[in-house]
Amino acid sequence: MARPKCARFVRDFPNSTFFKPRGVPLCSLQEVVLTFDEFEALRLADLEGLYQEEAAAKMKVSRATFGRILTSAHGKVADGLINGRAIRIDGGNVKMVQRRTFECAECGHSWEVGFGIGRPGACPECGSQNVHRSDADRGQGRGGRGRGMGCRRGQRQSEAAGKETT
């Protein structure tokens, strides 16, 4: 029995999931199915120009596995283009990368950063270090004001309530 495939991480699902030759009805075309992880591999390697090692880390797979996914994707796209088949993007064992949105207080630029990467040090547009999580993105996940009524570490709750302790 074959080992089950681990889920591959993808950033986004495509806006369009079907591509076909112009002027030919879809019902008369054969389909080639490109999985979401193959689509992501094409995006990372061919569109963003990442090396396979970097792209594999983003998808949380080994470099060799990434190479196999990319080779399969290239073959399917070539088959669709050369043989006039419809390309449908669907399926695969994938998980969405969770992302956080940051905003620059200086220029107003907003951008997304994946969880686990850390807080950005500066705005990618203007270089300002005055960056913060966007208002729409706050309150999700860890952090925020929970138990303890917003007290700072080391400060007792009775002091925060204005009561003196002796």
Q: Give 94-153 pLDDT, tens digit per residue.
A: 776 666 788 888 888 877 776 556 677 888 888 888 887 777 666 544 444 444 444 444
pTM greater than 0.85: no
Instruction: State how beta strands 94-96 and 8-10 pair.
Output: parallel
Considering only CA atoms, which of 85, 68, 89 is closest in space to residue 17? 89
Q: Give 126-141 pLDDT, tens digit per residue.
A: 888 888 777 766 654 4
Domains and their CATH numbers in the chain: 8-96 (1.10.10), 98-138 (2.20.28)
